[in-house]
Each structure stands twice: as structure tokens, then as C-alpha cells.
Amino acid sequence: MDGSVLFLAMPTVSEALSPTADQALWILDVYGFAVGSLLVAFGNIGDRYGRLKLLLAGTALFGLASAAAALSTTPELLIASRALMGIAGATLLPSALAVLSELFTDPRERTKAIGIFAATFAAGFAVGPVVGGQLLNSFWWGSVFLINLPVVAAFLALAPLLLREVRTTRPGRVDAPSIVLSAAGLLFTVYAIKHTAAEGPAAAPLAIGAVGTLALSLFVRRQLRLEFPLIDFRLFRDRVFTIAAITGLLPLAAWSAAAYLGGIYLQSVLGLTVLQAALTALPGAAVLTVTCIVTPALVSRIGTKAALVTCHFLITGGLLLLLATTVTSGVAWYIASTVVAGIGYGISFAVVADTAIAAVPAERAGSAAAIAETSNEIGNALGIALLGSLAALIFRLQGPDAAATLDETLNLPGLTDTLATDAKSAFVTGLHAAALVAALLHAALGTFAVRHLPKRLPAENNSTPEEAFSPSGA
């Protein structure tokens, strides 16, 4: 939920803290980047030193960081608090998913359990804007973070009673240079992209981007040389694994960008209240959650390949519906988009999670879960960073050049109706561009899956998890 709770809240946060264009994007996606950068590392740590200990420590830190975010008085403090929340979140996801593989050793039961887990994961993303909208309708913006505290308290009280400590003996150690290279590379590269889109090219951001690209290159090379890498890139030699991994990333990128830009569109362009905008997300959220639950039964009927292909073309169709939105109307088109694409999102979330757990032996469940969650979280952050930056670039190029963002422009003193209309029109053009690019990427991946995936995937042939996705198993 914390990955998306700010989508509808950002106009209110912007009014209270007055962040710059790139600070607003960092407030939204630094959480996802912190989670994504550290998920694999914490998956390894949990395997070695105990998942329950990691869950308890991470939950406590998550609660403290949530309180700090709620009480932030500047954009910088909110960004730092969100980053700390992301670090804590990275301790939770891989351990939680790994526990399922130990609770449910029967493949059929495990598939159902992971489908339910994926539903709660997806529902959290989906209802985040709704919860945020309802809270903002009655309280100040910090309430969207304080909602975490009762959940944290309940978990800390019940987890020691209901969960047992689980650890596995794993060789090697957590490679600190790999963690630094991946985190720095990701942050530096995306900072350069976002800054350039919001404010135009400049020497310093471009240099930072070059350093980030170099760090990511060194990270990949290091993983290929390590005996026990954080991410085993050799698995990507298997085309089935590769398509599944990209399916973990791309739908979250599309969903997060559409939700973020859609929240601004509904409030700042069409003039809906926060609560009204939140209610428009309910149909899509319901469809997405139900789809996650029923997907295992669907896959048993039509097969994993058909499910993977179908999800991408449904998302493509849903995103293309956003092209019908205009400056004066578009609520119905937005709801239709979230419903159609929501079916595709739900299928992708459930299929990718199950594939990750089934692909590895039980002792590697934490690391496998971390890789699956990494693709989700990085996709979430990249969607806002890259597609959001594309929309920001188009607004900067086509807008009235009065301010860097739509909300800043609409809050200018003495704003004329013509200037406001021009700004809204430029934003809608940016929304359309982001939706079109995401739709084309999904269509391309769906077409690739049709042509290159075998009719029956290895995991459907009653093979062991180790055989199903080994590099030689394609």
C-alpha cells in the first residue's frame, strides 16, 4: 500500500510542502527504489540469519519511518523518511513470501497460497490511492503514513506467537560491493533521467547518470563472476525465465505510471475531489484483486503461456483506453482502463510470484522471492521515474512554460483561463504519450511470448522446481 498511497495524495502534499518537480517524483518513487535495491540482499540475509528476526526488525523500523514521514516538515525530510521506509520494506517482502513455500509444501496448495498472497500484494497497491483519498478527505496529509502504525503494532505482538524462526544454511556471504553498485547505479541513473526531463539537460545530472550507468554495468559483470551472486543473471539464459521476470517488471511500471498520472488528471485537470478520485479506483482495484485469486484456476485450464500472453494484451488494451481522455471529460474512460488492464495486472502478479517460488529449491526460496519482488518494486519505481519523466518532458516542451508542473502552474497568482487550459492540455498529451509507450511495450512483449514460448512450459510437465527453470531446461 505504501508504494501507491501517495498517488492521489500528491497534490495535497505538494500544496503543504511545495516540492520541486523532481522532488515530487522522488517522494513518490524513492520508496520503490530503496526496496528494489535491497530486496535481494535482505533475501540472502534472511536465509542465513533467520527470517523471523528480519521480519520483526524490519517491521519495527517501518513503523518508526512511517511516523517520521507523517511528521515531515520539508520535502527533503519526507524523501529521507520514504527511503527509510523502503529499506525496512525490503526486509519484509522476501521473508514473507518465502514462508509460504515452507508452510505449503504441496504444489497445488502452494499455488493457491501464492495466488492469495499475490492478491493481497496487488490489493495493497490498488487500494493505496483509495485509502489515501479517504484519509485526506478528513485528515491532514500525514495521516496516510500513520495508518501503518496499528498494523505494525499488531504484527509485532502476534508474529512471535504465530511464526517460528526459519533459516537455511547457505554458502558464501552477502557481497557488500554488489549492494552498493546496484543501489548507486539505479539511483544515479534515474536521477539523471528525471532531472533532465523536468528541467532540461545539464552537465552535472548527465555526469551523475554516466556514473550510474557505469555502476550498473560493473554490478552485472560482478554478478557473473561471483560464485554466489546476489542476482544469478545466468538464469536469464532461459527464455521462459526471462519473459517471466520481465512480466514481473513491466506491468508494475505501467500500473504505477498510469495511477500516478491518472490521479493528477482526475484532480487537477477534471477537478474531482480527492475522495471522488479515490472512488474511481475501486472498480479496477476489485477486478485486480479477484483476478489474482482466480488466476491459479485459470492457469490450470489454459496453461501458463496463454496466461502470460493474455495478461500483456489485456494491459495493452486497457492502457490504450486512456488515449480517449480529454481536458473536459474522461472519468468513464479512466475507469474502463483500470478494469481492463486490472485483469492483466492480476494475472501477471499471480503468475510471476508462483513461477519464482517453483523455480528454485526450498532453501533458495528467500532469494527467489526477492528476485520476483525486485522486478515488481523496480517496475513500480521505474514506471513513475521513466514514464512520469516522459510526461514531465512533454509538459515542459508543450506547456505554457510558466512552471515546471501542472499543479504549480494552476496555483500561480493571476492565472488566466487560457493559460490553465494550455497547461491541462499539455499534461493530457503527456499522459497519452506515457500510456502509449507502455501499451506498445506490453504489445511487443506479448507478441514475443507468442512466438518464443513453448506451448507447454517446463513447470507444467511435473518437473521438479530445480529442473523447471534451470538454464538448460528451456
CATH number of domain containing 139: 1.20.1250.20
Residue 162 sits in which domain range?
10-174+230-468
Single-letter code of the amino acid located at 412: L
452 and 358 co-located in one domain = yes
Tens digit of each residue's pLDDT (9 = 90 or more) over 400-435: 878 778 888 888 888 888 899 999 999 999 999 999
Q: Is residue 206 part of a domain?
A: yes
pLDDT of 282-324, one tens digit each? 888 888 888 888 887 888 888 878 888 999 999 999 999 999 9
Domain count of the chain? 2
Instruction: Summarize the confidence of residues 103-123 as an average pLDDT.
Output: 73
Using the structure block, give the residue that is written with the C-alpha cell 513461477: 355
- Helix/strand/coil percentages in the chain, nearest 5: 80, 0, 20
Domain match, 153 and 66 both: yes
Query: Whole-angstrom Cα distance, residue 296 to residue 291?
Result: 9
- pLDDT at site 78: 94
Q: Which residue has the higher pLDDT, 79 or 263?
A: 79
Boundary-marking domain end, from 201, 229, 257:
229
Q: What is the Cα–Cα distance from 267 to 278, expressed in whole angstroms?
A: 10
Give 381's Cβ-side CA count (13 Å radius).
Answer: 27
> Would residue 208 count as lying in a domain?
yes
Residues 329-351: pLDDT tens digits? 999 999 999 999 999 988 887 77
Answer yes or no: do 282 and 249 share one domain. Answer: yes
DSSP structure string for 269-332: IS---HHHHHHHTHHHHHHHHHHHHHHHHHHHHH-HHHHHHHHHHHHHHHHHHGGG--SS--HH
What pLDDT score was predicted for residue 388? 86
Assess whether pLDDT exceeds 50 at residue 89.
Answer: yes
Q: What is the pLDDT of residues 98-107, one digit of tens each?
A: 666 667 777 7
Which pLDDT value is given to residue 98?
A: 67
